[in-house]
């Protein structure tokens, strides 16, 4: 497999893994079955990766894929998309392999009713949960123990028909709040709303089968990222923790995790 190391991004709440481990040694025992990369019970790891990789790396990634993944890659017409899919899954397998101390080729995925991938064939009580999102040449991977997790990455596309899409998909309260913003703030607010909503439906696992107009998220400038309301489930919004950020210029991301009190680390996958 291609080599990799983590480079922590320059964020105020990000410290190196070594610092974290030594500081929290007494407080957090690394999960006994999570290997080379360790996750504490209150930690979330988010990895950013570029999917346009060298031919040598792609070859190694392809070799790690299951027959089903190879066949999915082959169904993309454009070789760029074939390669990005192979890199996306290859990097996922590589990172999972480091957490699980497993050969990436041995990792087996199962899929929920709406396609959310999860790990199978790993003896309990291991509960490493993950989710990923890709947009163009970039991908984000999120890992946590024992909790539901969803991540979404979107490129800020200035040609989006904000009003039409919002009117069609968003909750009435979100449409009203979006419409009350000045025109120059609408696109950014729309993308924030969309990524937070997608991260939520991916955490739940339902994907777009979950009606986007049945829950509301924050998105106004200066507002902390959170789930505001879930229709038919009073208090449900308290169950979820949301983090939103700009992983690179021109892109917006959101992460939704069940539970509260998380500590998040950002890392860069590099060859
Ligand atoms: C999940 C969904 C919202 C993702 O939309 P997107 O913005 O196009 O894609 P993203 O890049 O953010 O995420 C894609 C990744 O999410 C994961 N994913 C797929 N379905 C998921 C789900 N229901 N919940 C959470 N994650 C899911 C996969 O890892 C996928 O990447 P990969 O297959 O290349 O590994 C959308 O694909 C969806 O609603 N799917 C469910 C509906 C469906 O297709 N059902 C068919 C039954 S299998």
Lining residues, ligand 1, CB within 6 Å: 85, 88-89, 114-117, 131-134, 150, 152, 198, 201-202, 205, 207-209
At 84 the pLDDT is 98
pLDDT digits (tens, 9 = 90+) for 90-125: 999 999 999 998 999 999 999 999 999 999 987 665
How far apart CA 110 and CA 8 sit, in angstroms, is: 30
At 19 the pLDDT is 42
How many A from CA of 114 to the centre of ligand 1?
8
The preferred substitution site among 115, 132, 247, 252 for testing ligand 1, maximizing ligand atoms within 8 Å of CB, is 115
How many A from CA of 185 to the centre of ligand 1?
28
Torsion angle defined by CA atoms of residues 91, 95, 97 and 103, in that order, rounded to the nearest 10 degrees:
30
pLDDT digits (tens, 9 = 90+) for 156-199: 988 899 999 999 999 999 999 999 999 999 999 999 999 999 99
Q: Do domains 5-152+261-270 and 155-249 have the same CATH topology?
A: yes
Rounded (10°) angle between helices 172-179 and 162-169: 160
How far apart CA 141 and CA 134 sit, in angstroms, is: 9
Task: For 135-196, give the DSSP string.
Answer: ETTEEEEEEEESS-EEEEEEE--TT--HHHHHHHHS-HHHHHHHHTS-HHHHHHHHHHHHHH
Mean pLDDT confidence for 17-33 = 37
Residue 138 pLDDT greater than 70, yes or no: yes
Domain boundaries defined on the chain: 5-152+261-270, 155-249
At 124 the pLDDT is 60
Output the CA torsion sign for 157, 161, 163, 166: negative
Looking at ligand 1, which atom is closest to the CA of residue 85? 34
What pTM was computed for the model?
Answer: 0.87
Residue 8 pLDDT greater than 80, yes or no: no
At 29 the pLDDT is 38
| pLDDT band of 79, cuts 50, 70, 90 | very high
Q: How far is CA 92 from CA 69, 192, 216, in A?
A: 12, 25, 30
CATH class of 155-249: alpha beta
Mean pLDDT confidence for 70-80 = 96
At 195 the pLDDT is 98
How many A from CA of 169 to the centre of ligand 1?
17
What single DSSP character describes residue 255? Answer: E
Residue 88 pLDDT greater than 70, yes or no: yes
Q: How far is CA 42 from CA 16, 147, 212, in A?
A: 16, 10, 29
What single DSSP character describes residue 114? Answer: T
Residue 7 pLDDT greater than 80, yes or no: no
- Write down the residue that tokens 């990000």 correspond to: 14
At 25 the pLDDT is 32
Q: Lowest-pLDDT range, 45-49, 125-129, 139-143, 200-204?
A: 125-129
Cα–Cα nearest to 27, from 261, 266, 267, 265: 261
How many A from CA of 219 to the centre of ligand 1?
23
**CA–centroid distance for 265 within its chain:** 13
Looking at ligand 1, which atom is closest to the CA of residue 205? 24
At 122 the pLDDT is 79
Residue nearest to atom 37 of ligand 1 (CA): 207
Sheet strands (E) in the chain: 5-8, 43-50, 108-111, 117-120, 128-135, 138-145, 149-155, 215-217, 227-230, 240-245, 251-258, 263-270
Fold of 5-152+261-270: Ribosomal Protein L22; Chain A (3.90.470)
- The bridge status of strand 117-120 relative to strand 227-230 is unpaired
How far apart CA 91 and CA 170 sit, in angstroms, is: 33
pLDDT digits (tens, 9 = 90+) for 245-271: 999 999 999 999 999 999 999 999 987
């Amino acid at each position: 497999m291609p080599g990799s190391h983590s480079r922590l991004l320059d964020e105020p709440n990000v410290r190196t893994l070594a610092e974290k481990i030594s500081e929290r040694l007494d407080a957090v025992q690394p999960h006994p079955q999570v290997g080379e990369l360790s996750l504490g019970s209150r930690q979330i790891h988010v990895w950013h990766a570029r999917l346009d990789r060298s031919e040598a790396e792609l070859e190694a990634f392809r070799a790690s894929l299951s027959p089903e993944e190879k066949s999915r890659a082959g169904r993309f017409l454009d070789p760029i998309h074939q390669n990005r899919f192979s890199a996306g899954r290859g990097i996922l397998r590589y990172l999972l392999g480091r957490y699980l101390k497993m050969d990436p080729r041995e990792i087996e995925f199962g899929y929920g009713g709406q396609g959310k991938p999860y790990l199978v064939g790993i003896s309990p009580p291991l509960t490493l949960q993950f989710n990923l999102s890709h947009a163009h040449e970039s991908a984000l991977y999120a890992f946590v123990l024992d909790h539901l997790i969803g991540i979404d990455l979107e490129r800020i596309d200035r040609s989006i028909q904000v009003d039409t899409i919002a009117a069609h998909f968003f909750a009435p309260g979100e449409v009203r709040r979006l419409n009350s913003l000045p025109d120059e703030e609408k696109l950014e607010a729309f993308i924030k709303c969309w990524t937070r909503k997608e991260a939520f439906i991916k955490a739940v696992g339902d994907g777009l089968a979950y009606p986007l107009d049945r829950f509301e998220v924050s998105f106004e400038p200066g507002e902390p990222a959170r789930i505001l309301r879930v229709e038919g489930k009073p208090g449900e919004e308290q169950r979820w923790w949301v983090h939103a950020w700009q992983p690179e210029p021109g892109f917006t991301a959101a992460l939704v995790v069940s539970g509260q009190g998380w500590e998040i680390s950002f890392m860069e996958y590099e060859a």
